[in-house]
Amino acid sequence: MKNRLDWQSLLLAIRHKGLTGDYIGSYCGVSRHVIDRFIRGVNHSEPSFTVGLKMLRLHRRECPDRHEREIYANV
Protein backbone atom coordinates (compact mmCIF):
# COMPACT_ATOMS: atom_id res chain seq x y z
CA MET A 1 0.00 0.00 0.00
CA LYS A 2 1.22 3.48 -0.85
CA ASN A 3 2.06 5.86 1.92
CA ARG A 4 -0.03 9.01 1.86
CA LEU A 5 0.66 12.46 3.15
CA ASP A 6 -1.22 13.39 6.27
CA TRP A 7 -2.93 16.54 5.01
CA GLN A 8 -4.72 17.04 8.31
CA SER A 9 -1.45 17.21 10.29
CA LEU A 10 0.17 19.38 7.67
CA LEU A 11 -2.66 21.93 7.80
CA LEU A 12 -2.88 21.82 11.60
CA ALA A 13 0.83 22.69 11.77
CA ILE A 14 0.22 25.66 9.48
CA ARG A 15 -2.78 26.77 11.56
CA HIS A 16 -0.64 26.44 14.69
CA LYS A 17 1.64 29.11 13.20
CA GLY A 18 -1.32 31.52 13.31
CA LEU A 19 -2.58 31.41 9.73
CA THR A 20 -6.34 31.37 9.34
CA GLY A 21 -8.38 28.96 7.26
CA ASP A 22 -9.33 31.90 5.07
CA TYR A 23 -5.68 32.75 4.40
CA ILE A 24 -4.69 29.14 3.74
CA GLY A 25 -7.65 28.66 1.41
CA SER A 26 -6.91 31.87 -0.46
CA TYR A 27 -3.23 30.93 -0.80
CA CYS A 28 -4.16 27.48 -2.12
CA GLY A 29 -6.99 28.68 -4.36
CA VAL A 30 -9.80 26.94 -2.50
CA SER A 31 -12.41 28.01 0.04
CA ARG A 32 -11.91 27.98 3.79
CA HIS A 33 -14.50 25.21 3.91
CA VAL A 34 -12.26 22.90 1.89
CA ILE A 35 -9.37 23.59 4.25
CA ASP A 36 -11.62 23.05 7.27
CA ARG A 37 -12.73 19.67 5.90
CA PHE A 38 -9.11 18.54 5.62
CA ILE A 39 -8.36 19.82 9.13
CA ARG A 40 -11.37 18.00 10.60
CA GLY A 41 -10.40 14.86 8.71
CA VAL A 42 -13.70 14.60 6.87
CA ASN A 43 -12.23 15.03 3.42
CA HIS A 44 -10.93 11.55 2.70
CA SER A 45 -9.77 12.32 -0.82
CA GLU A 46 -6.44 13.76 -1.85
CA PRO A 47 -6.29 17.42 -2.87
CA SER A 48 -5.72 18.16 -6.54
CA PHE A 49 -2.08 18.29 -7.58
CA THR A 50 -2.07 22.10 -7.72
CA VAL A 51 -3.76 22.54 -4.33
CA GLY A 52 -1.56 19.90 -2.70
CA LEU A 53 1.58 21.54 -4.06
CA LYS A 54 0.48 24.90 -2.68
CA MET A 55 -0.23 23.33 0.71
CA LEU A 56 3.25 21.80 0.70
CA ARG A 57 4.86 25.11 -0.25
CA LEU A 58 3.00 26.91 2.52
CA HIS A 59 4.00 24.23 5.02
CA ARG A 60 7.65 24.50 3.95
CA ARG A 61 7.50 28.30 4.34
CA GLU A 62 5.72 28.29 7.71
CA CYS A 63 7.20 25.13 9.28
CA PRO A 64 10.72 24.79 7.85
CA ASP A 65 11.96 22.98 10.95
CA ARG A 66 9.32 20.25 10.54
CA HIS A 67 8.86 20.14 6.78
CA GLU A 68 11.58 17.68 5.75
CA ARG A 69 10.84 15.31 8.62
CA GLU A 70 7.06 15.30 8.28
CA ILE A 71 6.80 15.22 4.51
CA TYR A 72 9.60 12.95 3.40
CA ALA A 73 9.30 10.49 6.28
CA ASN A 74 5.82 9.54 4.99
CA VAL A 75 6.56 9.16 1.31
* 1 in any annotated domain: no
Q: Based on the structure, what is the number of domains in the chain?
A: 1
Give tens-digit pLDDT for 2-58. 567 889 999 999 999 999 999 999 999 999 999 999 999 887 788 999 999 999 999
Question: What pLDDT score was predicted for residue 1?
Answer: 39
- Residue 23 has a pLDDT of 97
* 71 vs 68: CA distance, rounded Å: 6
Place 65 in a pLDDT band, splitting at 50, 70 and 90: confident
User: What is the model's pTM?
Assistant: 0.84
Q: Looking at the domain assignment, is residue 59 inside a domain?
A: yes
Range of the structural domain that residue 24 is part of: 7-70
Please answer whether residues 13 and 59 qualify as being in contact, where contact means their C-beta atoms are separated by less than 8 angstroms. yes
Give whole-number Cα distances, 9 to 16, 26, 68, in Å: 10, 19, 14
Quick one: CA torsion of 40, 43, 23, 20, rounded to 10 degrees?
Answer: 0
